[in-house]
């Protein structure tokens, strides 16, 4: 379809003249719009018309172009002439020739030269494509390619870096994994891990040894299934019916192996929880503890006899059995006697403690009325309290049922006496001690309240520990074994009871003992 036929979209002119005018004006518009330099030459090679672009590139206006030889505007004048004559002669077109425009400013502009013979007008149209712009385009494309190439190379470099980093990270992760695995498998404690699905995932060598099992037989099985397995049954019973935390529970694996079992849930990044069981070998610790205990027991026993002898020797002096003694002699002997008594008490306490440790403490529980026991202990301490000028009261609350308990009388009596002794010792003259015994439901409550020096808050949690004495009372009463409350708590708890206290330094202390009633 030629350009000319586009007039179809417009209204046709009434007269041929109108048509021609229309065509001409359309042509003119196109001619000047075209962004390529175009000119028209006659058979003599003279420019008869040129468009805006041609004028621009040559830097001549239309007046300077018309009627001039085309060769004037080119550097290769002979060649141009040749082409022109051949085009007119052969009535053909020439394409893609490289020439240089010689413009007004005497600059050379490389162009590609195209020309076409037009039969109807016996003229030739010449069209140029500026090499410069071609070059620009080419350069532009080259630039773009360069940039793109640069981009790609940079991306490639970045990817390689990433790959390196990933490799590095992977290597590190693997290293860490190998390290963890090594630690895990060589760890001195036995370790058993269950994955978040409750299946046995890992067992280390030590655990295998402790339990006499091979991990391959057990990995993948769940806790409930393993609990029925004959080799793992007794261990998992220590943990419980299901996976739960336990802290340092003893497990006798066999006669030579005693383990301390601790289990806990561990979470990794807030995801579901793995379950870990730790087996710690305390066989040696146990042996040492037993030896220590035996030593204490033997030592205490051996100490008792000489202490008793000293006791009577001094007793005899004081009783005047060896002859009358002076007042001064009495004072000194009495002090010595009392000191010896304290030694005897300490030795007895040590023996009690060693018996507690051995687990041989409670002897033969008997069914008694707690009321009687408390009354007895109270009566035996009345005098001491009186001498110290401390008010000492016992209140037994009447209850529907008798306060019957099943206890080792000697030990329970000792336990209660320890608390009462403390109350008396650590309450200053003018103070007050109150003992309350009551029964509520099937619980027997014994409350011992004093207005004594109290226990400093920071030390309260250590009060039941062996040999512990609070700082504020060591200065008040330099004697004191620190064993009394340890023994008391053991006795109370061994009977299935509970003991607790409330205390404020400078105000006093209240001890609460609860025991289960037998009937």
Partner 1 sequence: MAKKIIIVEDEEILAGLLYKKLTGLGYEVFVAVDGEQGLQAIREIKPNLVLLDIVMPKMGGFDVLRAVRGDEAIKNTKIMIISNSGQPVEIEKAKELEVQDWLVKTEFDPQEVLDKTVKLIGQAD
Report the site for partner 1 in 37-76 (rule: CB under 8 A).
none
Q: How far is the CB of 329 from partner 1 (least distance, A)?
A: 19
CA atoms within 13 A on the CB side of 433: 28
Residue 308 contacts partner 1 per CB under 8 A? yes
Say how many C-beta atoms besides its own lie within 10 A of residue 300's C-beta.
20
Of 33 and 363, CB closest to partner 1: 363
Q: How far is the CB of 312 from partner 1 (least distance, A)?
A: 5
Dist CA 279 CA 302 (whole Å): 39
Residue 108 contacts partner 1 per CB under 8 A? no
Q: Quick check: helix, strand or coil at residue 121? A: coil
Of 158 and 316, CB closest to partner 1: 316
Q: Residues 10, 256, 321, 400: which binds partner 1 (CB under 8 A)?
A: 321
How many residues touch partner 1 (CB under 8 A)? 19
Dist CA 174 CA 217 (whole Å): 27
Q: How far is the CB of 340 from partner 1 (least distance, A)?
A: 11
Q: Kindly write out the interface string for residues 258-297 of this chain, putting x where it contacts partner 1 by CB under 8 A and - elsewhere.
A: ----------------------------------------
CA atoms within 13 A on the CB side of 518: 12
Which tokens go with 23?
């065509």
Q: How far is the CB of 304 from partner 1 (least distance, A)?
A: 5
Choose one: 33-41, 153-161, 229-237, 313-321; the region binding partner 1 (CB under 8 A): 313-321
Which tokens go with 321?
């059995």
Report the site for partner 1 in 357-416 (rule: CB under 8 A).
363-364
Q: Is 296 exposed, middle or buried (0-12, 13-18, 19+ CB in 10 A)?
A: middle
Report CA-CA distances (Å) from 355 to 260, 295, 351, 420. 22, 12, 6, 22
Dist CA 515 CA 497 (whole Å): 4
Dist CA 72 CA 112 (whole Å): 17
Choose one: 152-160, 181-189, 245-253, 301-309; the region binding partner 1 (CB under 8 A): 301-309
Q: Kindly write out the interface string for residues 339-358 of this chain, putting x where it contacts partner 1 by CB under 8 A and - elsewhere.
A: -----x--xx--x-------
CA 318 to chain centre: 71
CA 202 to chain centre: 21
Which tokens go with 195?
């994955």
Residue 432 contacts partner 1 per CB under 8 A? no
Q: Residues 319, 367, 428, 474: which binds partner 1 (CB under 8 A)?
A: 319
Q: How far is the CB of 318 from partner 1 (least distance, A)?
A: 10
Residue 332 contacts partner 1 per CB under 8 A? no
Dist CA 447 CA 510 (whole Å): 7
Non-local CB neighbours of 506 within 8 Å, separated by 6+ positions? 453, 454
Cβ atoms of 220 and 305 closer than 8 Å:
no
Residue 313 contacts partner 1 per CB under 8 A? yes
Cβ atoms of 261 and 253 closer than 8 Å:
no
Of 347 and 448, CB closest to partner 1: 347
Choose one: 49-57, 228-236, 269-277, 307-315; the region binding partner 1 (CB under 8 A): 307-315
Which tokens go with 418?
């320890």
Q: Residues 92, 301, 401, 507: which binds partner 1 (CB under 8 A)?
A: 301
Q: Residues 38, 307, 370, 374: which binds partner 1 (CB under 8 A)?
A: 307
DSSP annotation of 501 reads E
Count of residues in the chain: 519
Of 196 and 313, CB closest to partner 1: 313
Q: How far is the CB of 425 from partner 1 (least distance, A)?
A: 21
Q: How far is the CB of 407 from partner 1 (least distance, A)?
A: 14
Choose one: 18-26, 265-273, 303-311, 414-422; the region binding partner 1 (CB under 8 A): 303-311
Of 141 and 316, CB closest to partner 1: 316
Residue 176 contacts partner 1 per CB under 8 A? no
Q: How far is the CB of 344 from partner 1 (least distance, A)?
A: 6
Closest alpha carbon to 52 in 73, 33, 25, 74: 33
Give me the residues paired with residue 248 across strands. Answer: none
Cβ atoms of 438 and 448 closer than 8 Å:
no
Q: Is 158 exposed, middle or buried (0-12, 13-18, 19+ CB in 10 A)?
A: exposed
Choose one: 110-118, 158-166, 310-318, 369-377; the region binding partner 1 (CB under 8 A): 310-318
Dist CA 491 CA 279 (whole Å): 30
Q: How far is the CB of 482 from partner 1 (least distance, A)?
A: 21
Give me the residues paired with residue 262 across strands. Answer: 278
Which tokens go with 97?
């020739």
Report the site for partner 1 in 147-166 (rule: CB under 8 A).
none
Q: How far is the CB of 381 from partner 1 (least distance, A)?
A: 17
Q: How far is the CB of 350 from partner 1 (least distance, A)?
A: 12
Cβ atoms of 193 and 201 closer than 8 Å:
yes
Contacts with partner 1 by CB under 8 A lie at 301, 304-305, 307-309, 311-313, 315-316, 319, 321, 344, 347-348, 351, 363-364
């Amino acid at each position: 379809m030629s350009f000319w036929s586009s007039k179809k979209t417009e209204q046709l002119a009434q007269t041929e003249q109108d048509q021609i005018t229309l065509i001409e004006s359309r042509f003119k518009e196109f001619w000047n719009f075209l962004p390529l330099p175009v000119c028209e030459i006659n058979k003599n090679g003279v420019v008869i018309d040129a468009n805006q672009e041609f004028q621009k590139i040559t830097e001549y206006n239309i007046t300077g172009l018309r009627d001039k030889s085309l060769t004037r505007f080119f550097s290769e004048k002979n060649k141009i002439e040749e082409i022109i004559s051949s085009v007119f002669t052969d009535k053909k077109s020439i394409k893609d020739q490289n020439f240089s425009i010689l413009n007004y400013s005497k600059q050379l502009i490389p162009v590609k030269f195209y020309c076409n013979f037009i039969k109807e007008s016996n003229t030739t149209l010449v069209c140029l494509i500026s090499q410069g712009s071609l070059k620009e385009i080419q350069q532009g494309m080259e630039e773009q390619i360069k940039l793109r190439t640069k981009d790609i190379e940079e991306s490639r470099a970045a990817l390689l870096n990433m790959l390196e980093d990933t490799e590095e990270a992977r290597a590190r992760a693997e290293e860490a994994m190998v390290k963890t695995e090594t630690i895990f498998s060589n760890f001195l404690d036995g370790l058993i891990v269950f994955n978040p699905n409750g299946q046995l995932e890992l067992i280390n060598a030590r655990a295998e040894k402790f339990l006499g099992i091979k991990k391959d037989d057990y990995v993948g099985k769940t806790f409930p299934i393993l609990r029925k397995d004959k080799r793992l049954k007794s261990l998992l019973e220590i943990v419980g019916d299901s996976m739960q935390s336990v802290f340092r529970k003893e497990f006798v694996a066999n006669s030579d192996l005693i383990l301390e079992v601790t289990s806990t849930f561990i979470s990794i990044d807030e995801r579901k929880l793995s379950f870990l069981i730790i087996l710690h070998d305390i066989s040696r610790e146990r042996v040492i503890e037993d030896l220590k205990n035996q030593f204490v027991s033997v030592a205490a026993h051996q100490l008792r006899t000489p202490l008793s002898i000293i006791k009577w020797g001094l007793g005899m002096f004081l009783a005047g059995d060896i002859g009358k003694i002076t007042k001064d002699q009495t004072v000194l002997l009495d002090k010595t006697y009392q000191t010896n008594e304290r030694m005897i008490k300490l030795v007895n306490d040590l023996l009690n403690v060693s018996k507690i440790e051995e687990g041989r403490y409670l002897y033969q529980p008997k069914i008694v009325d707690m009321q009687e026991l408390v009354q007895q202990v109270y009566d035996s301490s009345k005098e001491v309290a009186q001498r110290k000028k401390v008010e000492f009261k016992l209140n037994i609350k009447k209850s529907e049922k008798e306060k019957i308990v099943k206890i080792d009388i000697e030990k329970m009596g000792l336990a209660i006496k320890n608390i009462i002794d403390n109350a008396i010792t650590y309450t200053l003259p003018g103070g007050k001690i109150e003992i309350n015994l009551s029964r509520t439901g099937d619980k027997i409550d014994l409350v011992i309240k004093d207005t004594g020096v109290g226990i400093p808050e920071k030390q309260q949690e250590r009060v039941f520990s062996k040999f512990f004495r609070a700082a504020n009372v060591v200065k008040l009463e330099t004697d004191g074994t620190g064993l009394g409350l340890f023994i008391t708590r053991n006795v109370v708890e061994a009977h299935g009871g509970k003991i607790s206290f409330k205390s404020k330094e400078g105000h006093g202390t209240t001890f609460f003992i609860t025991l289960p009633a037998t009937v």
